[in-house]
Amino acid sequence: MIMSAESVRPEPVEGPSFSSAGSEGKKQPFDRPGANGLRGKLTANAPLAPLVWFKSGGAAEWLFEPKDLADLQGFLADLDPEVPVMALGLGSNMIVRDGGVPGVVVRLGKAFAKVTAVDPVTLDCGGGASGILVSSTARDSGVAGLEFLRSIPGTVGGFVRMNGGAYGGEVKDILVDCDVVLRSGELKTLPVADLGYTYRHSALPEGAIVVAARFRGRPGEAADIQAEMDRIGASREASQPLRSKTGGSTFKNPDGHRAWELVDKAGCRGFALGGAQVSEKHTNFLINTGNATSTDIEALGEEVRRRVRESQGVELEWEIQRVGKP
Protein backbone atom coordinates (compact mmCIF):
# COMPACT_ATOMS: atom_id res chain seq x y z
CA MET A 1 0.00 0.00 0.00
CA ILE A 2 1.37 3.42 -0.96
CA MET A 3 0.83 5.86 1.86
CA SER A 4 0.49 9.57 1.30
CA ALA A 5 3.44 11.86 1.84
CA GLU A 6 1.61 13.39 4.77
CA SER A 7 1.74 10.02 6.56
CA VAL A 8 5.34 9.21 5.67
CA ARG A 9 7.82 11.58 7.25
CA PRO A 10 11.28 10.13 6.61
CA GLU A 11 13.19 12.74 8.62
CA PRO A 12 16.68 11.34 7.96
CA VAL A 13 16.08 11.37 4.20
CA GLU A 14 16.92 14.53 2.28
CA GLY A 15 14.44 14.99 -0.53
CA PRO A 16 14.84 16.21 -4.09
CA SER A 17 16.06 19.76 -4.44
CA PHE A 18 13.62 22.52 -5.38
CA SER A 19 13.99 26.17 -6.27
CA SER A 20 13.26 28.35 -3.28
CA ALA A 21 12.19 32.01 -3.43
CA GLY A 22 14.62 34.38 -1.76
CA SER A 23 17.55 31.99 -2.09
CA GLU A 24 19.26 33.89 -4.92
CA GLY A 25 18.60 31.08 -7.36
CA LYS A 26 20.20 28.36 -5.25
CA LYS A 27 18.52 25.01 -4.83
CA GLN A 28 17.28 24.25 -1.35
CA PRO A 29 16.61 20.77 0.03
CA PHE A 30 12.99 19.72 -0.09
CA ASP A 31 12.29 19.04 3.56
CA ARG A 32 8.56 18.66 4.03
CA PRO A 33 5.58 17.33 2.08
CA GLY A 34 3.36 20.10 0.74
CA ALA A 35 6.18 22.61 0.39
CA ASN A 36 6.22 24.82 -2.68
CA GLY A 37 2.45 24.52 -2.98
CA LEU A 38 2.28 20.83 -3.88
CA ARG A 39 -1.22 19.40 -3.73
CA GLY A 40 -0.50 15.84 -4.82
CA LYS A 41 1.15 13.03 -2.86
CA LEU A 42 4.93 12.80 -2.49
CA THR A 43 6.17 9.58 -0.89
CA ALA A 44 9.74 8.75 0.06
CA ASN A 45 11.20 5.29 -0.52
CA ALA A 46 7.98 4.10 -2.17
CA PRO A 47 7.95 0.37 -3.05
CA LEU A 48 7.39 -0.07 -6.78
CA ALA A 49 6.95 -3.87 -6.88
CA PRO A 50 3.22 -3.61 -6.06
CA LEU A 51 2.80 -1.15 -8.95
CA VAL A 52 4.40 -3.23 -11.73
CA TRP A 53 3.18 -6.43 -13.33
CA PHE A 54 6.27 -8.47 -12.51
CA LYS A 55 5.73 -7.73 -8.78
CA SER A 56 9.47 -7.40 -8.26
CA GLY A 57 12.08 -4.69 -7.87
CA GLY A 58 13.11 -1.96 -5.50
CA ALA A 59 11.69 1.35 -4.36
CA ALA A 60 11.43 4.79 -5.91
CA GLU A 61 13.54 7.34 -4.09
CA TRP A 62 10.47 9.56 -4.40
CA LEU A 63 7.04 8.81 -5.88
CA PHE A 64 4.96 11.83 -6.91
CA GLU A 65 1.26 11.51 -7.73
CA PRO A 66 0.14 14.94 -8.96
CA LYS A 67 -3.30 16.30 -8.16
CA ASP A 68 -3.74 17.72 -11.65
CA LEU A 69 -1.85 19.18 -14.60
CA ALA A 70 -0.96 22.44 -12.87
CA ASP A 71 0.39 20.50 -9.88
CA LEU A 72 2.62 18.42 -12.16
CA GLN A 73 3.88 21.48 -14.02
CA GLY A 74 4.68 23.34 -10.83
CA PHE A 75 6.45 20.34 -9.32
CA LEU A 76 8.71 19.85 -12.34
CA ALA A 77 9.37 23.58 -12.76
CA ASP A 78 10.60 23.81 -9.16
CA LEU A 79 12.53 20.55 -9.15
CA ASP A 80 16.30 20.71 -9.51
CA PRO A 81 16.99 19.87 -13.17
CA GLU A 82 19.69 17.43 -12.06
CA VAL A 83 17.10 15.19 -10.39
CA PRO A 84 16.04 12.40 -12.80
CA VAL A 85 12.31 11.99 -13.49
CA MET A 86 10.55 8.90 -14.84
CA ALA A 87 6.87 8.36 -15.61
CA LEU A 88 5.12 5.17 -14.47
CA GLY A 89 1.84 3.98 -15.95
CA LEU A 90 0.43 0.53 -15.23
CA GLY A 91 3.94 -0.92 -14.98
CA SER A 92 3.08 -3.59 -17.53
CA ASN A 93 6.12 -3.42 -19.80
CA MET A 94 8.84 -2.72 -17.27
CA ILE A 95 11.50 -4.32 -15.10
CA VAL A 96 12.26 -2.22 -12.03
CA ARG A 97 15.71 -3.30 -10.92
CA ASP A 98 16.23 -4.43 -7.34
CA GLY A 99 18.31 -1.39 -6.36
CA GLY A 100 15.35 0.89 -6.96
CA VAL A 101 14.88 4.04 -9.04
CA PRO A 102 16.79 7.21 -8.12
CA GLY A 103 15.14 10.61 -8.34
CA VAL A 104 11.40 10.99 -8.83
CA VAL A 105 8.89 8.56 -10.33
CA VAL A 106 5.70 10.30 -11.47
CA ARG A 107 2.47 8.32 -11.50
CA LEU A 108 -0.61 9.87 -13.11
CA GLY A 109 -3.90 9.23 -11.32
CA LYS A 110 -7.61 9.69 -11.95
CA ALA A 111 -7.29 13.32 -13.01
CA PHE A 112 -5.36 12.10 -16.06
CA ALA A 113 -7.53 9.08 -16.87
CA LYS A 114 -10.49 10.65 -18.64
CA VAL A 115 -11.51 9.89 -22.23
CA THR A 116 -13.99 12.04 -24.17
CA ALA A 117 -15.11 12.29 -27.79
CA VAL A 118 -14.23 15.63 -29.40
CA ASP A 119 -15.78 14.91 -32.80
CA PRO A 120 -17.37 11.89 -34.54
CA VAL A 121 -14.03 10.13 -35.07
CA THR A 122 -11.61 11.66 -32.50
CA LEU A 123 -11.07 10.96 -28.80
CA ASP A 124 -9.24 13.17 -26.29
CA CYS A 125 -7.49 10.79 -23.87
CA GLY A 126 -5.69 11.48 -20.62
CA GLY A 127 -2.16 10.15 -20.26
CA GLY A 128 -3.25 7.89 -17.39
CA ALA A 129 -6.16 6.28 -19.27
CA SER A 130 -5.86 2.56 -19.98
CA GLY A 131 -6.03 1.01 -23.43
CA ILE A 132 -9.21 -0.81 -22.40
CA LEU A 133 -10.90 2.47 -21.40
CA VAL A 134 -9.89 4.15 -24.66
CA SER A 135 -11.11 1.28 -26.85
CA SER A 136 -14.36 0.95 -24.89
CA THR A 137 -15.07 4.68 -25.17
CA ALA A 138 -14.32 4.47 -28.88
CA ARG A 139 -16.88 1.67 -29.20
CA ASP A 140 -19.52 3.64 -27.30
CA SER A 141 -18.81 6.65 -29.54
CA GLY A 142 -18.96 4.65 -32.78
CA VAL A 143 -15.26 5.12 -33.54
CA ALA A 144 -13.58 2.15 -35.23
CA GLY A 145 -9.86 1.58 -35.73
CA LEU A 146 -8.86 1.81 -32.06
CA GLU A 147 -9.82 -1.76 -31.14
CA PHE A 148 -6.18 -2.90 -30.96
CA LEU A 149 -5.64 -0.66 -27.92
CA ARG A 150 -7.77 -3.22 -26.06
CA SER A 151 -4.79 -5.55 -26.22
CA ILE A 152 -2.12 -3.14 -24.97
CA PRO A 153 -1.77 -3.53 -21.20
CA GLY A 154 -0.74 0.01 -20.43
CA THR A 155 -1.74 3.65 -20.34
CA VAL A 156 -1.92 6.29 -23.05
CA GLY A 157 1.29 7.92 -21.83
CA GLY A 158 3.22 4.68 -22.14
CA PHE A 159 2.00 3.55 -25.51
CA VAL A 160 2.33 7.03 -27.02
CA ARG A 161 5.96 7.11 -25.90
CA MET A 162 6.69 3.60 -27.17
CA ASN A 163 4.50 3.62 -30.31
CA GLY A 164 2.62 0.68 -28.82
CA GLY A 165 0.95 -1.71 -31.19
CA ALA A 166 -0.64 -5.11 -31.64
CA TYR A 167 -2.97 -7.00 -33.97
CA GLY A 168 -2.05 -4.92 -37.00
CA GLY A 169 -2.36 -1.48 -35.42
CA GLU A 170 0.18 1.01 -34.07
CA VAL A 171 -0.21 4.29 -32.20
CA LYS A 172 1.45 6.18 -35.05
CA ASP A 173 -1.52 5.21 -37.26
CA ILE A 174 -4.15 6.81 -35.00
CA LEU A 175 -2.35 9.60 -33.12
CA VAL A 176 -3.17 13.19 -34.09
CA ASP A 177 -1.09 14.94 -31.45
CA CYS A 178 -0.20 14.76 -27.77
CA ASP A 179 0.31 17.08 -24.83
CA VAL A 180 3.54 16.60 -22.93
CA VAL A 181 4.96 18.26 -19.85
CA LEU A 182 8.67 18.69 -20.41
CA ARG A 183 11.23 18.21 -17.66
CA SER A 184 11.21 22.00 -17.20
CA GLY A 185 7.48 21.99 -16.45
CA GLU A 186 6.57 23.53 -19.80
CA LEU A 187 3.44 22.17 -21.50
CA LYS A 188 3.76 21.54 -25.23
CA THR A 189 1.49 20.02 -27.86
CA LEU A 190 3.39 17.87 -30.35
CA PRO A 191 1.89 16.65 -33.64
CA VAL A 192 2.52 13.03 -34.56
CA ALA A 193 5.04 14.11 -37.21
CA ASP A 194 7.30 15.52 -34.48
CA LEU A 195 7.54 12.26 -32.55
CA GLY A 196 9.92 10.50 -34.93
CA TYR A 197 8.12 7.20 -34.61
CA THR A 198 9.82 3.94 -35.50
CA TYR A 199 9.09 0.42 -34.29
CA ARG A 200 8.38 0.64 -30.52
CA HIS A 201 10.25 3.94 -30.26
CA SER A 202 9.64 7.68 -30.30
CA ALA A 203 11.81 10.78 -30.16
CA LEU A 204 10.10 12.16 -27.05
CA PRO A 205 12.71 13.85 -24.86
CA GLU A 206 13.96 12.22 -21.68
CA GLY A 207 11.88 13.18 -18.67
CA ALA A 208 8.91 14.37 -20.76
CA ILE A 209 5.55 13.09 -19.50
CA VAL A 210 2.63 12.51 -21.87
CA VAL A 211 -0.46 13.94 -20.15
CA ALA A 212 -2.97 13.70 -23.02
CA ALA A 213 -3.34 12.52 -26.60
CA ARG A 214 -5.85 12.76 -29.42
CA PHE A 215 -6.59 9.55 -31.33
CA ARG A 216 -8.49 9.52 -34.62
CA GLY A 217 -10.31 6.50 -35.99
CA ARG A 218 -13.13 6.12 -38.50
CA PRO A 219 -16.91 5.78 -38.26
CA GLY A 220 -18.08 2.33 -37.19
CA GLU A 221 -20.93 0.37 -35.67
CA ALA A 222 -20.68 -0.38 -31.95
CA ALA A 223 -21.57 -4.06 -32.48
CA ASP A 224 -18.83 -4.51 -35.08
CA ILE A 225 -16.29 -2.73 -32.89
CA GLN A 226 -17.21 -4.93 -29.93
CA ALA A 227 -16.91 -8.04 -32.06
CA GLU A 228 -13.37 -7.08 -33.05
CA MET A 229 -12.50 -6.33 -29.42
CA ASP A 230 -13.87 -9.73 -28.42
CA ARG A 231 -11.80 -11.41 -31.14
CA ILE A 232 -8.65 -9.68 -29.90
CA GLY A 233 -9.43 -10.52 -26.28
CA ALA A 234 -10.01 -14.18 -27.07
CA SER A 235 -6.80 -14.37 -29.08
CA ARG A 236 -4.78 -12.88 -26.22
CA GLU A 237 -6.37 -15.20 -23.69
CA ALA A 238 -5.55 -18.24 -25.83
CA SER A 239 -1.97 -17.33 -26.64
CA GLN A 240 -0.55 -15.24 -23.77
CA PRO A 241 0.06 -15.94 -20.06
CA LEU A 242 -2.30 -13.19 -18.95
CA ARG A 243 -2.87 -14.62 -15.47
CA SER A 244 0.84 -14.75 -14.62
CA LYS A 245 3.14 -12.10 -13.21
CA THR A 246 4.67 -11.00 -16.49
CA GLY A 247 5.79 -7.91 -18.36
CA GLY A 248 4.21 -8.39 -21.75
CA SER A 249 6.26 -8.82 -24.92
CA THR A 250 9.89 -9.05 -23.88
CA PHE A 251 11.78 -8.59 -27.15
CA LYS A 252 11.13 -6.58 -30.29
CA ASN A 253 10.48 -8.54 -33.47
CA PRO A 254 13.68 -8.32 -35.56
CA ASP A 255 13.27 -7.55 -39.27
CA GLY A 256 12.04 -10.67 -41.01
CA HIS A 257 11.59 -12.64 -37.80
CA ARG A 258 9.19 -13.20 -34.93
CA ALA A 259 10.84 -12.98 -31.54
CA TRP A 260 8.85 -15.85 -30.07
CA GLU A 261 9.88 -18.21 -32.87
CA LEU A 262 13.57 -17.34 -32.40
CA VAL A 263 13.30 -17.97 -28.67
CA ASP A 264 11.50 -21.26 -29.26
CA LYS A 265 14.05 -22.46 -31.81
CA ALA A 266 16.81 -21.67 -29.31
CA GLY A 267 15.24 -24.23 -26.99
CA CYS A 268 14.17 -21.70 -24.37
CA ARG A 269 10.50 -22.59 -23.95
CA GLY A 270 10.01 -23.17 -20.21
CA PHE A 271 13.67 -22.37 -19.44
CA ALA A 272 14.02 -21.05 -15.88
CA LEU A 273 16.58 -19.07 -13.92
CA GLY A 274 15.97 -18.51 -10.24
CA GLY A 275 12.30 -17.64 -9.90
CA ALA A 276 12.01 -16.41 -13.49
CA GLN A 277 10.88 -18.53 -16.43
CA VAL A 278 10.27 -18.25 -20.15
CA SER A 279 6.55 -18.82 -20.57
CA GLU A 280 5.60 -22.19 -22.00
CA LYS A 281 2.45 -20.60 -23.44
CA HIS A 282 4.18 -17.76 -25.31
CA THR A 283 7.96 -17.72 -25.52
CA ASN A 284 8.27 -13.94 -25.89
CA PHE A 285 6.92 -13.58 -22.34
CA LEU A 286 8.99 -13.93 -19.19
CA ILE A 287 7.12 -14.72 -15.98
CA ASN A 288 7.76 -14.44 -12.28
CA THR A 289 6.84 -17.88 -10.98
CA GLY A 290 6.44 -16.59 -7.45
CA ASN A 291 9.61 -15.29 -5.85
CA ALA A 292 11.77 -14.01 -8.71
CA THR A 293 13.91 -10.96 -8.21
CA SER A 294 14.25 -8.44 -11.00
CA THR A 295 17.86 -9.60 -11.26
CA ASP A 296 16.55 -13.11 -12.03
CA ILE A 297 14.19 -11.79 -14.70
CA GLU A 298 16.73 -9.59 -16.43
CA ALA A 299 19.42 -12.29 -16.28
CA LEU A 300 17.00 -14.77 -17.84
CA GLY A 301 16.31 -12.33 -20.65
CA GLU A 302 20.01 -11.84 -21.28
CA GLU A 303 20.57 -15.61 -21.35
CA VAL A 304 17.77 -15.98 -23.90
CA ARG A 305 19.37 -13.26 -26.03
CA ARG A 306 22.71 -15.08 -25.87
CA ARG A 307 21.20 -18.40 -26.89
CA VAL A 308 19.30 -16.86 -29.81
CA ARG A 309 22.43 -15.02 -30.97
CA GLU A 310 24.60 -18.13 -30.80
CA SER A 311 22.06 -20.51 -32.35
CA GLN A 312 20.63 -18.28 -35.08
CA GLY A 313 22.87 -15.26 -35.45
CA VAL A 314 20.08 -12.81 -34.63
CA GLU A 315 20.40 -10.08 -32.01
CA LEU A 316 17.22 -9.67 -29.97
CA GLU A 317 16.52 -6.19 -28.62
CA TRP A 318 14.66 -5.64 -25.37
CA GLU A 319 11.16 -4.25 -25.74
CA ILE A 320 10.58 -4.20 -22.01
CA GLN A 321 11.90 -1.10 -20.28
CA ARG A 322 14.55 -1.83 -17.66
CA VAL A 323 14.95 0.97 -15.14
CA GLY A 324 16.76 1.70 -11.92
CA LYS A 325 19.89 0.40 -10.22
CA PRO A 326 20.85 -3.31 -10.05
> What CA–CA distance (Å, rounded) separates 109 from 124?
16
pLDDT in tens, 65-122: 999 999 999 999 999 999 999 999 999 999 999 999 999 999 999 999 999 999 999 9
pLDDT in tens, 123-148: 999 999 999 999 999 999 999 999 99
- pTM for the predicted model, two decimal places: 0.87
> What CA–CA distance (Å, rounded) separates 301 from 307?
10
Number of other residues whose CB lies within 10 A of the CB of residue 114: 14
Whole-number pLDDT of residue 16: 65
Which residue, among 214, 225, 231, has the nearest Cα to 139 in the 3D structure?
A: 225
Point out the catalytic residue in the list 61, 147, 228, 319.
319
Average pLDDT, the chain: 90
Point out the catalytic residue in the list 92, 141, 249, 279.
249
> What CA–CA distance (Å, rounded) separates 310 from 223?
48
Does position 32 have pLDDT exceeding 50, yes or no? Answer: no
| Mean pLDDT for the stretch of residues 203-220 | 96
Does position 19 have pLDDT exceeding 50, yes or no? Answer: no
Which residue, among 86, 29, 94, has the nearest Cα to 63 in the 3D structure?
A: 86
Whole-number pLDDT of residue 207: 87
Identify which has the larger pLDDT, 313 or 168.
Answer: 313
Which H or E element spans position 236? helix 222-239
pLDDT in tens, 182-192: 999 999 999 99
| Mean pLDDT for the stretch of residues 288-311 | 98
Whole-number pLDDT of residue 270: 97
Per the CB < 8 A criterion, the answer to whether 262 and 254 are in contact is yes
- Domains of the chain: residue spans and CATH: 5-107 (3.30.43.10), 111-238 (3.30.465.10), 241-323 (3.90.78.10)
Question: How far is CA 270 from its chain centroid?
Answer: 26
Question: With the C-alpha atoms ordered 77, 2, 156, 114, is the resulting torsion angle positive or negative?
Answer: negative
Per the CB < 8 A criterion, the answer to whether 276 and 288 are in contact is yes
Per the CB < 8 A criterion, the answer to whether 215 and 227 are in contact is no
Whole-number pLDDT of residue 6: 34
Q: Are strands 122-126 and 209-216 parallel, antiparallel or unpaired?
A: antiparallel
What is the percentage of the chain residues whose pLDDT exceeds 70?
Answer: 89
Could you confirm whether 319 is annotated as catalytic? Answer: yes
Least confident range from 95-109, 151-165, 209-223, 294-308: namely 151-165
> What CA–CA distance (Å, rounded) separates 204 from 299?
28
pLDDT in tens, 148-184: 999 988 999 999 999 999 888 999 999 999 999 999 9
Beta bridge partners of 141: none
Confidence tier at 268 by pLDDT (50, 70, 90): very high
Point out the catalytic residue in the list 200, 214, 305, 307.
200
Number of H helices, E strands in the chain: 6, 21
Does position 44 have pLDDT exceeding 60, yes or no? Answer: yes
Which residue, among 325, 186, 213, 303, has the nearest Cα to 251 in the 3D structure?
A: 303
Whole-number pLDDT of residue 190: 97
